């Protein structure tokens, strides 16, 4: 099985939306990615391709630390999706690892994620509240952070791109 993980191309936006709709119960995540893309908020947006088909996608968008101007540049990982038939074969792990590497190459200092600790800790994510880093929805253990550039983590409240405000969890 030869999976290629690479940046998305502009002729793949519909296929990416289809992958997102196949794994999430509503259209929200597909719309979120479209909005983030249109508003140039995406730092990194990768696809997993198998024999010409898009089978996975990961997005990273800029985040800010509330009240901190000119602080370290951070990104939020969301959403991550792998087509149901391709799950549990390491595709998600490749997307996360290569996504983090791409963020690092772009000078991103830290990445946050709101998700299953059991899944994300294998990629170096740690509970954000250990560093005094909070999110806007009060999540505790599920809110995690990974430092890509030493010294980039600052205590404070992380603000995701405004497009996330439309999401109803
Ligand atoms: C989460 C997701 C991206 C993982 O992709 P994947 O390609 O199946 O992941 P990998 O093959 O790298 O890893 C699979 C392992 O991850 C772990 N895992 C997967 N989902 C998990 C979860 N929600 N919680 C904890 N561990 C999880 C399991 O240990 C699994 O191993 P198993 O197959 O032996 O059970 C995929 O399941 C998916 O698209 N889910 C629906 C959308 C979603 O929940 N996205 C994440 C939030 S934005």
Structure tokens at 110: 């830290």
Domains and CATH numbers, the chain: 3-166 (3.40.630.30)
Instruction: Look at residue 167 in the predicted model and tell me its pLDDT.
Output: 78
Alpha-carbon gap, residue 114 to 120, rounded angstroms: 9
Residue 93 CB less than 6 A away from ligand 1: yes
Angle at Cα 16 formed by Cα 106 and Cα 18, nearest 5°?
160
Indicate which atom in ligand 1 lies nearest the CA of residue 86: 7
Handedness of CA 118, 124, 128, 132 (dihedral sign): positive
From ligand 1's centre to the CA of 69, what distance in Å?
35
Q: Which residues contact 160 (CB under 8 A, 6 or more apart)?
A: 61, 63, 76, 78, 135, 136
Out of 79, 81, 114, 143, mutate this one to test ligand 1's pocket (max ligand atoms within 8 Å of CB): namely 81
Tell how far CA 84 is from the center of its chain. Answer: 19
In the chain, pLDDT over 70 holds for what percent of residues? 99
Instruction: Look at residue 161 in the predicted model and tell me its pLDDT.
Output: 96
Atom 15 (ligand 1) nearest CA:
88
Q: What is the mean pLDDT of the chain?
A: 95
Instruction: Look at residue 61 in the predicted model and tell me its pLDDT.
Output: 98
pLDDT in tens, 91-149: 999 999 999 999 999 999 999 999 999 999 999 999 999 999 999 887 789 999 999 99
Q: Which residues contact 124 (CB under 8 A, 6 or more apart)?
A: 100, 146
Alpha-carbon gap, residue 83 to 56, rounded angstroms: 6
Residue 92 CB less than 6 A away from ligand 1: yes
From ligand 1's centre to the CA of 68, what distance in Å?
34
Instruction: Look at residue 169 in the predicted model and tell me its pLDDT.
Output: 60
Q: With contact defined as beta carbons under 8 Å apart, do 61 and 29 qualify? A: no
Burial of 60: CB neighbours in 10 Å, binned 0-12, 13-18, 19+:
buried
Residue 80 CB less than 6 A away from ligand 1: yes
Residue 27 CB less than 6 A away from ligand 1: no
The pTM of this model reads: 0.95
């Amino acid at each position: 099985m030869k999976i290629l993980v690479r940046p998305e191309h502009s002729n793949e936006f519909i296929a990416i939306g289809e992958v997102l709709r196949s794994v999430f119960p509503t259209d929200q995540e597909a719309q979120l990615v479209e909005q983030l893309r249109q508003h140039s908020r995406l730092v990194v947006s990768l696809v997993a391709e198998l024999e010409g088909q898009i089978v996975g996608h990961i997005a990273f968008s800029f985040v800010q630390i509330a009240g901190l101007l000119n602080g370290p540049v951070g990104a939020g990982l969301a959403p991550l999706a792998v087509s149901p038939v391709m799950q549990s074969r390491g595709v998600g792990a490749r997307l996360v690892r290569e996504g983090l590497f791409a963020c690092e190459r772009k000078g991103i200092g830290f990445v946050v994620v709101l998700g299953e600790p059991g899944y994300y800790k294998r990629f170096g994510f740690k509970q954000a509240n250990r560093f005094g880093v909070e999110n806007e929805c009060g999540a505790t253990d599920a809110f995690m952070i990974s430092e890509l550039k030493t010294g980039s983590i600052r205590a404070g409240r992380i603000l995701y791109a405004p497009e996330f405000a439309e999401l109803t969890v």
